[in-house]
Amino acid sequence: MLEVKSFQFNPFGVNTYILWDESLSGIIIDSGNSTNDENQQLLSFIQNKSLKIEGLYLTHLHIDHILGANFLSNYFDLPVKAHPQGGFLFDKASEYAASLGFSYDQNPEKIEYIDESHQITFGSLMGSCIYTPGHVDGSLCFYFEKAAVLFSGDVLFRQGVGRTDLETGDFSTLEHSIRRKLYSLPDDTIVFPGHGPSTSISFEKRYNPFFNV
């Protein structure tokens, strides 16, 4: 069974998720951890549960989601996995960080680019990657069909959607991603977004003020 723990990290309140199953194999989705204290919160939880982290996944490469990427990659000796269309954001990470008042040491050395053909596997669980541009190029949602759970990054929020005014953002592309690729998932799918509380596909179809059905 898929278990999920969320942490809210850094001033942008990025949800960093730990997923695992009964085998105690797990993955981390997004790396908002930006201070020693936040690093310790994550590691303490993982150690207390005796989890074995086998994968680091990034929904997209905006600075608030990658602040802890290098730390986690080094600590677990794993590459971070992300979509190549967002790679340009690694080149700009220091510049963005400085403009927002973050300190950003460096990009992770090990980056593995993945696309929709990538299968997420850990323990007995399998998940897929859904390419959902519009908020920014290279946005992936991670979908676990059997568990009926979606990690939607900054594409879909509870009664909200990702902003489209940043570089490579585009409102009609975002609408296409949400309506065609996310609203086609089963209604009872629980959605864990990159910021804010969880929701479901059925709730957003009815109550999302931007795109409802």
Among 38, 42, 62, 111, binds Zn ion (CB under 5 A): 62
Nearer to Zn ion, 51 or 62 (CB): 62
Residues 144-183 that bind Zn ion (CB under 5 A): 154
CA-based nearest residue to 59, from 135, 110, 8: 135
Does 32 bind Zn ion (CB under 5 A)? Our answer is: no
Which window, 31-39, 51-59, 116-124, 189-197, contacts Zn ion (CB under 5 A)? 189-197
Does 30 bind Zn ion (CB under 5 A)? Our answer is: no
Identify whether the C-beta of residue 130 lies closer than 8 Å to the C-beta of residue 114. no
What count of other Cβ atoms lies within 10 Å of the Cβ of residue 171? 15
Q: How far apart are CA 72 and CA 82, in angstroms?
A: 14
Does 108 bind Zn ion (CB under 5 A)? Our answer is: no
Q: How far apart are CA 17 and CA 108, in angstroms?
A: 19
Which window, 56-64, 93-101, 106-114, 179-187, contacts Zn ion (CB under 5 A)? 56-64
Q: How far is the CB of 48 from Zn ion (least distance, A)?
A: 27
Q: How far apart are CA 190 and CA 122, in angstroms?
A: 20
Does 137 bind Zn ion (CB under 5 A)? Our answer is: no
Nearer to Zn ion, 27 or 136 (CB): 136
Does 194 bind Zn ion (CB under 5 A)? Our answer is: yes
Q: How far is the CB of 114 from Zn ion (least distance, A)?
A: 18
Q: How far is the CB of 47 from Zn ion (least distance, A)?
A: 27
Identify whether the C-beta of residue 154 lies closer than 8 Å to the C-beta of residue 138. no
Which window, 85-93, 119-127, 174-182, 191-199, contacts Zn ion (CB under 5 A)? 191-199
User: 143: which strand partners?
Assistant: 128, 150
Q: What's the chain's Rg over C-alpha atoms?
A: 16
Per-position x/- string for 63-102, each x denoting binding to Zn ion as judged by CB under 5 A, each - no binding? -x--------------------------------------
Q: How far apart are CA 111 and CA 115, in angstroms?
A: 13
What count of other Cβ atoms lies within 10 Å of the Cβ of residue 17? 21
What count of other Cβ atoms lies within 10 Å of the Cβ of residue 182? 22
Question: What is the DSSP secondary structure assignment for residue 151, as one 8-state letter?
Answer: E
Nearer to Zn ion, 130 or 147 (CB): 130
Site for Zn ion, rule CB under 5 A: 62, 64, 154, 194
